[in-house]
Chains A and B, each alone.
Chain A
Amino acid sequence: QITLKESGPTLVKPTQTLTLTCTFSGFSLSTGGVGVGWIRQPPGKALEWLALIYWDDDKRYSPSLKSRLTITKDTSKNQVVLTMTNMDPVDTATYYCARQQQLSLFDYWGQGTLVTVSS
């Protein structure tokens, strides 16, 4: 059974750095072709892809947020970490992590974690 779960702070202040952890089970991030990505969704708005890391440590970032994002993995712990710097209230959203294995499809998603940016 494949599961992913996001964890991190629910509230951050403007200008702070957000660190989110995706802990997964049921697959390995050392298997060829596998990736784990982050997608966010502001309240009442659409999904937005943020970043993705592949089994071979290849990293991809959203062009509009690239300067603020860092994605890393710890294969031994089955974790992927996303950091986003200089948080702003517009970054308030539910942040999801999801597995990507083929066809650019995000086939398994975590339940999401709501992050509010407010002073």
Chain B
Amino acid sequence: QSVLTQPPSVSGAPGQRVIISCTGSSSNIGVPGYDVHWYQQLPGTAPKVLIYGNTNRPSGVPDRFSGSKSGTSASLAITGLQAEDEADYYCQSYDSSLSCWVFGGGTKLTVL
């Protein structure tokens, strides 16, 4: 079981908006200053940074992707869904109780 909890799957039609949640605890996401990062993993490829520091997009990532953090949870929102967004998405943070970096269980996004 992953320390950070994500829904196994989400889906949406092209053009729609989907939200992927990442639920943690007071020893990881809930710690002030502990950032949440999001990675996109296209089939057969390595993960790529999608959102870093809770809300920041690397250059080249469309502004259709946005991140937020509140309390012990974080969310990734994708608007204007496109077929190319079909991928697995992972959240990641640091856990002070475990003293290690932790990932969510991953969410498979299907574009209908």
Contacts and interface: CB of A to CB of B under 8 A. Distances in A.
Interface of A: 37, 39, 46-49, 52, 60-63, 96, 103-107, 109-112
Contact of A60 (B47, B93, B100, B103): B100
Interface residues of B, number: 26
Contacts of A112: 46
Given A103-B52, A107-B49, A47 B37 contact: no
A109 B101 contact: no
Contacts of B100: 49, 60-63
Given A60-B100, A112-B46, A105 B37 contact: yes
A37 to B, nearest CB: 7
Contacts of B99: 60, 63
Nearest to B103: A47
20 contacts: A39-B103, A47-B103, A49-B100, A49-B101, A49-B103, A52-B101, A62-B100, A63-B100, A96-B47, A103-B35, A103-B37, A104-B34, A104-B37, A104-B92, A104-B93, A106-B39, A106-B49, A109-B47, A109-B48, A110-B46
A112 B45 CA distance: 8
B46 A46 contact: no
Given A46-B90, A105-B53, A37 B101 contact: yes
Interface centre among A47, A49, A106, A111 (most CB of B within 10 A): A47
Contacts of B94: 104
A49 B37 CA distance: 14
Q: Which of A39, A60, A63, A104 has the most CB of B within 10 A?
A: A104
B112 interface: no
